[in-house]
Structure formats: structure tokens, C-alpha cells
Amino acid sequence: MCGIAGAFQFNGPQPVEEKTLRAMADAMVHRGPDDEGYYVSQGRELGLAFRRLSIVDLALGHQPMSTPDGRYTLVFNGEIYNHLEIRAELEAKGVAFKTHSDTEVLLHLYAHQGASAVERVNGMFAIAVWDAEDKTLFLARDRMGIKPLYYAVQNGSLVFASEIKCLFKHPQVTRELNQDELARYFTFLCLPAPETLFAGVKKLRAGHRVTIKAGGSFPAPERYWNPLPTAQSTQTEEALVEELRDLLHTSVKDRLMADVPFGAFLSGGVDSSAIVSIMSQLLDRPVETFSVGYKNDSAFNEFQHARDTAKRFGTNHHEVVIDHNDFKDFLPRLVHHQDEPIADPVCVPLYYVAELARKSGVIVALVGEGADELFFGYTFLNRVRRMVEKWWRPLSETPTWMRAMALGMVGPFVDLDRRDFLRRLKDGGEPFLGGAVTFYPEELKRLAPRLASDRSREAIVRDLYAEYDATQPKDDFPNRAGYLETMYRLPELLLMRVDKMTMATSVEGRVPFLDHRIVELAFRIPGALKVKDEVPKSILKKAVAPYLPDSIIHRKKVGFHVPVTRWFEEVLAPMADDVLFSPELEKLGIWDQKVVKELLAKQKAGSGNYGMRIWSLVNFGLWHRHWFEE
């Protein structure tokens, strides 16, 4: 795991300066504290920078790495799990290797196959390859978007990096708020690629690549992978269960590739417990496991479940307990490491459990992200599914005036979630907008009327559903909703919080459930097998049943949450008063301060649960203060 950065004057007059590359690399030392490297092309039109967290081939594997003839030079952040297999194939073609690193394998694979090399590898990565002969730069992001890659194009210059903060070390990249995207942030907690909240700063979409040629223009990135099948599987449930079990076992085994200590984040739920179980089978020593919990908040703690799993598999278990003071203390660093606001408070406990791993000597940690999105594991998804089957489908066949009447008659007497559900039904919208919706249009209209008028905030949802509907059964709600979650919320919220918070502590997070072979299989499995007899993640639970006791398989899902509401008085209330009503934010005129005060008053009075809404406002306010006011 590393950090990469670079600059390409593909149509610009200014040569690349190594001091600029060094400044960019210095901004992300936490991503790679073990080594650094730089490359400037002969014509000084291209420069690459690298920070290394040594994982494989600790003595060698230095980057940037060039082919012996000097034509190709590569930097990459990530891991290639099938590099030994590819290495053997390249050796059979006469390639001689100097190291045992996956970096060198990827470099020679690109030299042989060009842009299609990314279709051959299994792993997580952000890649940049310079072709000194053709004067081209190739960029790519892994299929699932596990690793980020940000870039800015201005005046014939391309600047790119693993983190946004690095871009601002380049003299041609300036900080400016992207007000056009605020509506999406306040609706979905994060922004869809390619946008960020910095104007002019983009992020490469998951599963996309782009080649930029000197003297040309910056082309539209192209998609090289889509998990949707040509048809759903006709295999029996038993055959699918066996295939899923075998793939998960293989995926965990692949992700144990490391020359440094590794472990796993353990909640005691199905996903993390399955990973630990398989690790314990594959290792000849106890698995290092790590859990985080909250002081005096038993409802949010899963310590006992994690301890039971740790005891069952004989792990060397570690725990860290945090409270509202830890939450408050970390917030200034949170917005620094997030780069762009990711309004998920889980970032805070995730940081502390990653820090615990690092302090315990563990550099690589396996995490359970992705299973709930792929296999329909969330409780809220099952609740929406029932609403779709009972209300949405029958009512969607009625005339528009009847749907409008239903909203008028029922809307005033139901909560906001159901009222907005009826609003979308009336307007011919979608029953499910994603698992991270904060402010609905009705709320946003009062809070920030200018933003509420922007209907583009739901365009990403419509576009993703259209991609799914083009080839798949529209009545398969579990897979249809799962595609939305997998293509949007997973890469830009959940995986980004893993990357940013683990790398903040110089720990590499690996996600076995997001091996692309498992993802492809998941979308071949009919949704009826994912939620069967009202049991979420039914087929996954059957696949891991040989590894886990019934007490884990069938226990009620808790999920990774933060007691934001309980910490409101200690942290959010005083912080909100300080941050949300600052003169700088008032000048921007984003929201109506009277409405914000009403929201805070309702939360203080206990007349509703507005903790996540307030947190999204505070997160933005802290972010704006850090990047624009200090």
C-alpha cells in the first residue's frame, strides 16, 4: 500500500519540477512512511512521485520502476494478488525479473499488453504508467474503487495523486468550493465520481482507465469492467453456495500475501467472523484480531460477540474503547485525512481500531466491507423491499392522480421517510435512493432553497438503475438495489472511509468480499436466493455455515454504528454552535441559519432524531474551515 502522485504537461508550457513532486509526496507520508521515489522524464513534461508502505519484497520493489530499456515507468498504489501466476506467464515469454514484487510484474504486463493489463490482474490499485516513446500517460483505478485516484486538468496540465491534499502542492491547482455539487453531498453524505467538493478536482471512477497523449487533450475515461452478467445463473442453490464458499476461501487466502504482520478487524458478525475463521484455517499461528467499542454505550458495542468469535478461533484479540472525548479530539484530523467530506461518523472508530492494529505491530488488516451490499444484508434494505412489494408495485400501476391523492391523504400522518417514498411514487421516481440519504427534498427546500431546486442530485441514481435495467430483470429488487449500492455508496463512501482511515495510521486494509470474481458471482445469483424466507444474506450465510456456529449465523445484525445522538450534548451541540454559524459560512449563504437552529433545538429537546443530519452539516463546516478558512 502506497501513495502515488504526478504531473503531466501534456499540452502546457511549464516543465515539471522535482521540488513540486517532493512537496506532493510529503503531503501523504502517512500512506508510505518506509520509502520514497521520484522520476522526471527527459523532456521534463512528466514527473512521478511515490511513497511506500512496504508489504511485499521489503528490500526491493522501489518505485517509480522502469523497464530495462527505460521506455515504461510505473507507480502504483495497491496489491496484485495474482502476480505470481502472471509472473510465470511472463517468464515463459522470456521476461527476466529482478525483484519478487508485484510492482515489477504489473510493469512488464503493461509493457506486453498495454491498457488491457488491468483486465488481467486481480487486486486493488491506482496505477500510472508513462510511455517515454509514445509520450503517453496511462491511469487506472481498480474495478471496485478500493483505491482512490484524484486528478485536476488545467491549462494543458494534468496533476494526479492518491489524495486531494497532494494536488494543492502543485502551483496550478487551487482550492475552490464546488457549489454545484452541494445538493448531492447534503443528500447522499458523499459525492459520486468523478466529482468532488473542490471545483476542478475529479476522481477517476471505479473500473475506469484513461490514456493521455502529449500534444492532445484530456479524453473521457473509459470503463473497462462491469459486474453485471449477460444472464442470471441457472445453477442450483447448492451449486451457487459451493461456488461462493470456494471463492471466499480463495479470496481470503490471496489476501494473506504479505511479508509483514497481518490481522483482521472483528465485530463478531457473520462477515468478519467468516474471514477470521478462514484465516485461522490457513495460518499456523493465531490470527491477530481487533475490535473497537464505546464507553458506557452497550447498545452500540459488539465486544462480547467479537470476544466469543476470538475465543472460538483462538485469536490474539485486541480491543480499544473510545468515548465522546476521543470523537471530539479526532475531528480536526478527520477532515484533514478525509480530503473531501465523507459524512459518516464511523470514520472515527475506524481510525482508532486501525491505530490499535498499527500499535500492535500489524500492517495489513482484512475487513468485511461489501458483503451487505452484494448479498442484501442490511435491515433497511429488507424493509424497503417489503414496502416495494406491498405498496410500490401495485400503486405504480394506478393513474398519477390517484398516487397524488394517496400522498395528500396519507403524507401528513407518516414519517418523512414514508412521505418521501410516496412523493417519489407520485413523481414516477425510484423506491430506493440508496442507504445513505440524509436530507430529503422536503427538508432541503427549507434548509437550503437554492440547493433544493437542483434536481440533478438524483440523476446518479437514475443513471445507475438505467445501467442495470438495460440487461437485468427489473423486478429483482435485491439485485437492482444492490447494484446501486455497489456502484455508488460502496466505492465513494464505505471504501473511501476504509482507505482514508487505515492509511492515516499507515495500515493497509484488504477486502476479501470484493474480489471481482465474488462480485461477478453475486450479480449472477437471483435476488430470491439472497433474501429467502425473510432471512437477509441467506445464500452467504449458507456458504459460511461450515465455518461458523448458529449463534453467529442467526444473531440479529447490529452493524457498525456510532452513538452520535447520545454524544450530541457533549460534542455536536457546542461544536455546531461554533462551526455552523461562522461568518465565513454565513457569507456563502448555503443554508438558512434559522432552520439550522430549529434543527438543533429539536435535537436538544428530544423531539426527533436529527443526529446524522446535524453531523453532515458539522462535517461540512469543519471541512470548509480546514481547507478554506485556516
pLDDT digits (tens, 9 = 90+) for 90-127: 999 999 999 989 999 999 999 999 999 999 999 999 99
Q: Read off the pLDDT of residues 446-460 as tens digits, 9 standing for 90 and up.
A: 999 888 666 667 788
pTM here? 0.95
CA 626 vs CA 69, 163, 620, 623: distances in Å: 45, 15, 10, 5
CA 225 vs CA 143, 145, 519, 599: distances in Å: 6, 11, 11, 43
DSSP strands (E only) in 452-560: 508-510
Cα–Cα distance for residue pair 31/124, rounded to 1 Å: 15
Name the nearest CA neighbour of 118 among 223, 262, 11. 223
Average pLDDT over residues 551-570: 78
Q: Read off the pLDDT of residues 58-75 as tens digits, 9 standing for 90 and up.
A: 556 689 999 999 999 999
* Summary mean pLDDT of the chain: 91
Q: What pLDDT does residue 54 have?
A: 67
Element holding 201 (H helix, E strand): strand 201-203
Give the max Cα distance, the chain: 75
Topology of 2-223 in CATH? Glutamine Phosphoribosylpyrophosphate, subunit 1, domain 1 (3.60.20)
Q: Read off the pLDDT of residues 510-530 as tens digits, 9 standing for 90 and up.
A: 999 999 999 999 999 999 999
Q: What pLDDT does residue 258 have?
A: 79
Cα–Cα distance for residue pair 203/218, rounded to 1 Å: 14
| Beta-ladder partners of 77 | 126
User: Given phi > 0 = left and psi -120 to 50 = alpha, else beta, which region is 137?
Assistant: beta
Angle at 333 between CA 327 and CA 617, to 5 degrees: 65
Give percent of the chain above pLDDT 70: 97
C-alpha grid cell for residue 39?
522520476
Q: Read off the pLDDT of residues 348-395 as tens digits, 9 standing for 90 and up.
A: 999 999 999 999 999 999 999 999 999 999 888 888 899 888 888 888
Angle at 540 between CA 347 and CA 79, to 5 degrees: 50
Q: What pLDDT does residue 387 have?
A: 87
Average pLDDT over residues 135-149: 98
3-class secondary structure per residue, 146-200: CCCCEEEEECCEEEEECCHHHHCCCCCCCCCECHHHHHHHHHHCCCCCCCCCECC
Phi, psi of 291 (to 5 degrees): -135, 155
Average pLDDT over residues 130-137: 98
Name the nearest CA neighbour of 226 among 524, 619, 583. 524
3-state secondary structure of 560: coil
Distance of CA 219 to the CA centre of its chain: 25
Q: Which residue has the higher pLDDT, 533 or 497?
A: 497
Residue whose C-alpha cell is 490514456: 211
DSSP strands (E only) in 323-400: 364-366
For the chain, which residues make up each domain, given as ranges?
2-223, 237-375+492-553, 383-482, 568-629
Handedness of CA 606, 610, 616, 620 (dihedral sign): negative
CA 597 vs CA 67, 155, 580, 583, 614: distances in Å: 61, 43, 9, 15, 10
Q: Which residue has the higher pLDDT, 285 or 56?
A: 285
Average pLDDT over residues 71-83: 96
Residues carrying an active site annotation: 2
Cα–Cα distance for residue pair 530/526, rounded to 1 Å: 7
Name the nearest CA neighbour of 307 among 338, 272, 283. 272
Cα–Cα distance for residue pair 472/298, rounded to 1 Å: 43
Q: Read off the pLDDT of residues 385-437 as tens digits, 9 standing for 90 and up.
A: 998 888 888 888 888 888 888 888 888 888 888 888 888 888 888 999 988 88
Q: What pLDDT does residue 56 have?
A: 59
Confidence of residue 442 (pLDDT cuts 50, 70, 90): confident
Q: Which of 317-321, 469-473, 560-564 has the lowest mean pLDDT?
A: 560-564
Q: What pLDDT does residue 610 have?
A: 86
Name the nearest CA neighbour of 151 among 337, 4, 333. 4
CB burial class (10 A; 0-12, 13-18, 19+) of residue 230?
exposed
Both ends of the chain: CA-CA distance in Å?
Answer: 30
C-alpha grid cell for residue 204?
477517476
Handedness of CA 578, 579, 580, 586 (dihedral sign): positive
Q: What pLDDT does residue 226 have?
A: 95
DSSP 8-state class, residue 116: G
Residue whose C-alpha cell is 478487524: 265
Decide if domain 237-375+492-553 falls under CATH 1.10.10.2840: no
C-alpha grid cell for residue 466?
438505467
Q: Which of 126-135, 179-188, 498-507 has the lowest mean pLDDT?
A: 179-188
At position 373, the amino acid (one-letter code) is E
Q: What pLDDT does residue 381 have?
A: 87
Edge-first strand listing for the sheet containing 288-294: 316-322, 288-294, 262-265, 364-366, 508-510
Average pLDDT over residues 141-162: 96
Q: What pLDDT does residue 332 have?
A: 87
Q: What pLDDT does residue 558 have?
A: 67
Q: Is the CB of residue 306 less than 8 Å from the CB of residue 268?
A: yes
Confidence of residue 216 (pLDDT cuts 50, 70, 90): very high
2-223 and 237-375+492-553, same CATH topology: no
Q: What pLDDT does residue 455 have?
A: 61
At position 483, the amino acid (one-letter code) is Y
| Beta-ladder partners of 208 | 223
Q: Read off the pLDDT of residues 568-613 as tens digits, 9 standing for 90 and up.
A: 788 888 888 889 998 999 899 999 999 999 999 998 888 878 888 9
Q: What pLDDT does residue 112 have?
A: 96
Cα–Cα distance for residue pair 142/206, rounded to 1 Å: 6
Handedness of CA 65, 122, 99, 107 (dihedral sign): negative
Name the nearest CA neighbour of 71 among 121, 130, 21. 130
Cα–Cα distance for residue pair 62/32, rounded to 1 Å: 12
Q: What pLDDT does residue 185 have?
A: 92
Q: Write the CB contacts of 583 (distance below 8 Å, at least 6 apart in sequence).
A: none
C-alpha grid cell for residue 157?
496540465
Average pLDDT over residues 486-515: 95
Distance of CA 611 to the CA centre of its chain: 22
Q: Give yes or no for residue 1 having a pLDDT over 70.
A: no
Q: Is the CB of residue 425 less than 8 Å from the CB of residue 392?
A: yes
| Burial per residue of 334-345, b for 16 or more beta-carbon CB atoms within 10 angstroms, e otherwise | bbbbbbbbbbbb
Tell how strand 46-52 and strand 2-8 pair up: antiparallel
